[in-house]
Structure 1
Amino acid sequence: MQTKPLEPGVEITSALTVDELEEVKARGFHAVVCNRIEGESEDFPDEARYREKAEQLGLAWVHIPVKPGEYSEADIRAFAEALQQLPRPLLAFCRSGKRATHLWAYAKRQYEQCELAELFTAAHAAGVDLEDQRQGLERSAQ
């Protein structure tokens, strides 16, 4: 499992298996935000198995399922609430880390008025290009 920081206490990773949640816990994370949709691929058939394992390990678990590029106001608000309320460090994941990064950027822009340059720099350092979300991110702070 390779994680990449977006900001202090918030990291992203790509698809996790249920068993990898043990490594998440061992590496000191306290919370997990999952942005995968149940059944989106064979490696993510059932969110409940992940939630149960996270609870067994004492990890806070939040599921905000989104399709790539389709982020509703409710999704962004839920991610912002997770950032504000969950214990840190927290780990967000989806299939590649891109959806998690997009939601993080929207939440930071809309609810914390972060500058685009700051978000783009952090995302780029984590290996995610936000350019395809530029217009949405520009509008989200207005």
Structure 2
Amino acid sequence: MGTGTVRVAESTVLASIGAAAVVAAACIPVSAVEDGPVICPFRHLTGLPCPGCGLTRAFVYTMHGDFSAAVTAHAFGPFVVVLAVVSAVVMGVRRARGSGPFALREAVTHPVVLLGVGVWMAYAIARMIVAG
């Protein structure tokens, strides 16, 4: 790295994107996501929901306090919102303490994370079967 170059860890970027998505979801009115067009390329091609289909609506519903609609849009939506907020807070605290970012590569291979991804994929497959 050259002088004056700052290396930003992947975990910091990911936490920042998650925080931005939460803030955006709080600013978007619910009416804007209720009857909008389908923008998922996978769904356009196959007619089936992808593993992330419904997350935008779930984020918006969660940030506006409609948890029933959020879970209906995507069962993992409220959980992902909480995960995004917690990640941003942890990243901010670590930065304030001078600890630096956490190692994303180690975090994503943690057994709890791998179990969560497995459950998410099972949910996605079940949604495809029901929709198909």
Report the TM-score when normalising by structure 1: 0.27
Larger relative helix fraction = 2
Larger relative strand fraction = 1
Structure with the greater alpha carbon radius of gyration: 2
